[in-house]
Amino acid sequence: MNKLLITGFSGFVASHFIEYLYKEKLQYDVCGIDINEPTHDYGQYSDFLDIDFKKADMMDIDRVHDILTEFQPDYILHLAAFSSVAYSWKHPSESFMNNCNIFLNLVSVVRDVCPNCRILSVGSSEEYGNVPHENLPIRENQRKEPLSPYAVARVSQEMLSKVYVDAYGMDIVLTRSFNHIGPRQDERFVVPSFIRRILDIKKSGRIEGEIETGDLTIVRDFVDVRDVVKAYHLLLTSGKKGEVYNICSGKGITLQKIVDMIADEAGVRVVTRTNPEFVRPSDNMEIVGSAYKLESELGWKREYKFDRTIRDMVAYME
């Protein structure tokens, strides 16, 4: 049985990845590592997946070395990161140093103790920066112009991947994952934050209420996390070493439209007010990607339309 190590195991994406493996009957010996204990019930998958969790701070390279030496993974899905752009503006040094150093620790240890292991290095659409409308949808050859500390760290992670592939022949596949959403996502992120506050209006018995937001004219390409994890597995098993793949829906939507959709689903009227504190110092105004490479090379197809995702998220949070 192949061995799979998942970093950031206690997070939103990892829970959906394990669920995907279980539903598709893809059998692995799984070791999850995270600085926090999991809150998701992984015992429900024990009849098919062998899952072990080890609490670890990946900034501690000796701890990472011990875990990988013992487990000897065939594959690594690297999800661990401070993944909030907003957090990176408030804590730029911590966010940058953490995201770069944990990845550097990981590839250094893999090269030392399990050099034939394949790593999926998860990046972000934030790496592209502000792309002119005429250059949309964004393809992988688009120039990278990151606009936040988080995005700069993701570009650095990608550059480190290329260095280790070229210099040492390491087996690393890379993504630029666009905004992914779905049930169980933390309310610190924009869409579940909207849902929580709109549902609070409904729970109070009111039919109308106000929420504070940032810039709602921003356009984003949102893709369901359940489609994202399917792409991650495809890339782990069939992606090309050293190649970068967009994971996206290919469609853009304004944040205002998302607020309206959530309000309709909840059955309330919502008035929005811009709070300057929620507006980032610099932001990408329009991000829409092309998944042509992933689709044409690996046969990936989206299954979840955006309105289905919103319905599922509202139902979960209710």
pTM of full prediction above 0.85: yes
Token pair of 312 as six digits: 């599922």
Beta bridge partners of 210: 271
Q: Are residues 278 and 298 in the same domain?
A: no
Closest CA to 177 of 16, 38, 36, 313: 16
Q: Are residues 154 and 277 in the same domain?
A: no
Q: Are residues 170 and 207 in the same domain?
A: no
Q: Are residues 146 and 232 in the same domain?
A: yes
Q: Are residues 152 and 239 in the same domain?
A: yes
Closest CA to 197 of 266, 130, 140, 129: 266
pLDDT in tens, the chain (318 residues): 899 999 999 999 999 999 999 999 999 999 999 999 999 999 899 888 999 999 999 999 999 999 999 999 999 999 999 998 988 999 999 999 999 999 999 999 999 999 999 999 999 999 999 999 999 999 999 999 999 999 999 999 999 999 999 999 999 999 999 999 999 999 999 999 999 999 999 999 988 999 999 999 999 999 999 999 999 999 999 999 999 999 999 999 999 999 999 999 999 999 999 988 877 777 778 999 999 999 999 999 999 999 999 999 999 999
One-letter amino acid at 260 equals: D
Q: Are residues 236 and 94 in the same domain?
A: yes
Q: Are residues 265 and 150 in the same domain?
A: no
Token pair of 56 as six digits: 């670890």
The region that residue 299 occupies, defined by phi over 0 for left and psi between -120 and 50 for alpha, beta otherwise, is left
Q: Are 215 and 253 in contact (CB under 8 A)?
A: no
Task: Say how far apart CA 91 and CA 78 lie, in whole Å.
Answer: 22
> What is the tally of structural domains in the chain?
2
Full domain range(s) for residue 203 = 190-218+252-286+309-317
CA distances from 2 to 43, 159, 237, 260 (A): 20, 28, 11, 45
How many degrees, rounded to 5, is the angle at CA 6 between CA 70 and CA 15?
Answer: 140
pLDDT of amino acid 254: 97
pLDDT of amino acid 60: 98
Q: Are residues 129 and 201 in the same domain?
A: no
Q: What is the CATH number of the domain that holds 112?
A: 3.40.50.720
Q: What is the C-alpha end-to-end distance of the chain, expressed in Å?
A: 39
Q: Are residues 19 and 137 in the same domain?
A: yes
Alpha helices in 1-84 (DSSP H): 12-23, 61-71
Q: Are residues 118 and 175 in the same domain?
A: yes
Long-range pairs, 189-197, Cβ under 8 A, ≥24: 189/84, 190/214, 190/255, 191/222, 191/258, 191/262, 191/310, 191/313, 192/313, 192/317, 194/255, 194/258, 194/259, 194/262, 195/262, 195/266, 195/313, 195/314, 195/317, 196/317
Q: Are residues 158 and 279 in the same domain?
A: no
Q: Are residues 278 and 153 in the same domain?
A: no
Q: What is the CATH number of the domain that holds 267?
A: 3.90.25.10
